[in-house]
Amino acid sequence: MLMTFTEFDANAIDIKQGWMATNASAEVDIVLNTNNMFELWIESNFENTFSTFEEAVRHAEALVPFKIKWED
């Protein structure tokens, strides 16, 4: 996984946890819903659900350009 995510506070009854991409060229969010499925949202548009966080990230990386910071 090369796209990086940070957790955010989710204040909805159908969301357990949420993460947002920090190095994507568009708004990318992954949320864990109450059915224990990971939803991928790009620019406020629902894309699909996945059984693992890693699978959702891979699909996000395929759909949205992102930047990698090469640190020393």
> Which residues share a beta bridge with 41?
29, 46
Closest CA to 14 of 59, 41, 1: 41
Residues contacting residue 56 through CB under 8 Å, at least 6 positions apart = 30, 38, 39, 40, 50
Contact 30/41 with Cβ under 8 angstroms?
yes
pTM: 0.87
Position 71 confidence tier, pLDDT thresholds 50, 70, 90: low
Q: What is the pLDDT of residue 9?
A: 87
Query: Within the chain, what is the greatest distance between any pair of CA atoms?
Result: 42
| Sequence ranges of the domains in the chain | 5-63
- 7-64 tens-digit pLDDT: 998 888 899 999 999 999 999 999 999 999 999 999 999 999 999 999 999 999 999 9
